[in-house]
Amino acid sequence: MEKLSEQELVRRQKLASLVEKGIDPFGQRFDRTHNTKMIKDEFSNFSKEELHDNPSPTISTAGRIMTKRGKGKAGFAHIMDQYGQIQIYVRMDVVGDEDFELFNNADLGDIVGVEGTVMITNTGELSIRVTKLTHLAKSLRPLPEKFHGLTNIEERYRRRYVDLITNEKSRETFITRSKIISMFRELLNDRGYLEVETPILHPILGGANAKPFVTHHNALDMPFYLRIAPELYLKRLIVGGFDGVYEIGRNFRNEGISIKHNPEFTMMELYQAYGNIDTMMELTQYLFSTVAKRLGKDTVEYNEKTIDFGTWHKVHMADAVKSELGIDFWDTEMTFEKAKAFAESKELEVPDHFTGTGHILNLLFEEYCEETIVQPTFVYGHPIEISPLAKKNIDDPRFTDRFELFIDGREYGNAFTELNDPIDQRERFEEQIKEKELGNDEASEMDYDFVEALEYGMPPAGGLGIGIDRLVMLLTESVSIRDVLLFPHMKPRSN
């Protein structure tokens, strides 16, 4: 048994005295006529005198006691629900001795229900003049300080519920997150996309380049990967005849944790039969600008920069690198040796599994161009070497019809015209296996079943993935991904 603090002991004594009075310290159902927002919406247009002369109907609401001010035979408190706080005014001569004692003995953090009429105080605050007070739940631990709230970052993540109680900004962020995800669903459903669910346990690694988590199924006695991307399953559904499908769900990547990375993160992935890179670009811009607009944020202040969702740019990766560094990857004379020598002249390390000019082009782009992008920009034309699931460009097969969306140096989306040629796809997988043998532990594996699916014929299609957490960060102006994840991963607390 852990040692209790003085305050915890006092609260447990108060709990015992509630029991003695026959009051359930952890209460029962309480029917509310209003939440705090409804009270404000309904009554804030009335004056103090109007509410005094024509008393409101009796309303009931409930919430957690956040502040409390005793005044002898009367008292004030603020109670809080999901929507905010409302002040309550409790007079002994109105509620009677029993309820007033209940009020006096209530602690900050306790949850109560109130009945009463709506009034405005001398200082002009909309309040409830309580006629009946109901104890609903005892709080056995003290809340953080009322003025500063919980500010310790570690504690805010470990005890998110306390963070949500005391920090309005945090509450708003997660409400916004929920809105963004439901807007995505609404916008996509309205365009006729079908929401689907595909496996999270994958027998074969694929759909992205990343290190996986590995788990084990007992009955089947075989290992499974937690999915790094749902791509290959979703495309099987396009083979199966669905016109457009999407999935919003968790992906898992066994990599470092940082301000931008959590081991599990949420992606929206979508496939559109008969579409291509351009339809995905249009869709991406539509989703981002519509969601931003509906949140009332045509522009966002992020990282001391103004991001304008009305301004979208487009640049080919080879052009971006050419204008930044002068080296021309369009040049048909460009060889791997030349490209590698250039990279090494910049003191970049070229790993063994880099075997094509495209690997170098991407390296240079990531190293020198990515961070220079501020406004929403589609970087397209990724080299074939790093795009094993994207269709080759019809005019220049060194590049694929793929784009990534960058905003303020970070990737928010990845899309391409899907590779639907099973013969080409099998060769691409074989290239990946070669890379794996050369030491790329993020290369994907051969998925024969997926190739077989393509052999039945997949219509030309566009595909898109959007990192939901990062979008939420941007639209809530959150610095860290942990600020948009309710329960970010932490090492267990030491004793």
3-state secondary structure of 96: helix
Piece in contact with RNA (CB under 7 A), picked from 53-61, 198-206, 256-264, 306-314: 256-264
**Cβ atoms of residues 273 and 280 within 8 Å:** no
Piece in contact with RNA (CB under 7 A), picked from 136-144, 167-175, 234-242, 449-457: 136-144
Residues 222-250 as b/e (b if ≥16 CB within 10 A, e otherwise) read eebbbbbbbbbbbbbbbbeebbbbbbbbe
255 binds RNA (CB under 7 A): yes
Tokens of 463: 């595909």
Beta bridge partners of 225: 202, 214
Piece in contact with RNA (CB under 7 A), picked from 32-40, 171-179, 411-419, 426-434: 411-419
224 binds RNA (CB under 7 A): no
Among 147, 161, 218, 219, binds RNA (CB under 7 A): 147
* 419 closest CA partner among 445, 453, 369, 465: 453
Piece in contact with RNA (CB under 7 A), picked from 205-213, 285-293, 312-320, 322-330: 205-213
CB atoms within 10 A of CB 180: 20
69 binds RNA (CB under 7 A): yes
3-state secondary structure of 174: helix
Measured from the CB atom, is 89 or 193 closer to RNA?
89
170 binds RNA (CB under 7 A): no
Work out how close the CB of 240 gets to RNA at its nearest, in angstroms, rounded to a whole number: 26
Measured from the CB atom, is 155 or 298 closer to RNA?
155
**Cβ atoms of residues 61 and 40 within 8 Å:** no
Measured from the CB atom, is 239 or 252 closer to RNA?
252
Taken in order 87, 92, 95, 100, the sign of the CA dihedral is positive
Among 22, 72, 241, 457, binds RNA (CB under 7 A): 72
Site for RNA in 331-370 (CB under 7 A): none
Contacts of 362 (CB under 8 A, 6+ apart): 317, 382, 383, 385, 386
* 202 closest CA partner among 154, 240, 234: 234
Work out how close the CB of 115 gets to RNA at its nearest, in angstroms, rounded to a whole number: 17
Q: What are phi and psi of 103, to 5 degrees?
A: -65, -45
Work out how close the CB of 156 gets to RNA at its nearest, in angstroms, rounded to a whole number: 8
Tokens of 275: 């579409």
Measured from the CB atom, is 245 or 466 closer to RNA?
466
Measured from the CB atom, is 165 or 334 closer to RNA?
165
CB atoms within 10 A of CB 54: 8
Piece in contact with RNA (CB under 7 A), picked from 3-11, 325-333, 352-360, 447-455: 3-11
Site for RNA in 423-442 (CB under 7 A): 442
Among 250, 297, 410, 436, binds RNA (CB under 7 A): 410
Site track for RNA across 87-126, x = CB under 7 A: x-x-xxx-------------xx----------x-xxxxx-
470 binds RNA (CB under 7 A): yes
Among 16, 19, 201, 490, binds RNA (CB under 7 A): 490
288 binds RNA (CB under 7 A): no
Count of residues interacting with RNA (CB under 7 A): 77
Rounded to the nearest angstrom, the gap between the alpha carbon of residue 361 and the centroid of all alpha carbons in its chain is 31
Work out how close the CB of 312 gets to RNA at its nearest, in angstroms, rounded to a whole number: 17
One-letter amino acid at 429 equals: F
Work out how close the CB of 450 gets to RNA at its nearest, in angstroms, rounded to a whole number: 19
C-alpha span between 148 and 170 (Å, rounded): 14
Piece in contact with RNA (CB under 7 A), picked from 19-27, 68-76, 237-245, 322-330: 68-76
Among 103, 157, 193, 354, binds RNA (CB under 7 A): 157
**Cβ atoms of residues 181 and 468 within 8 Å:** yes
Tokens of 210: 């990343």
C-alpha span between 180 and 288 (Å, rounded): 10
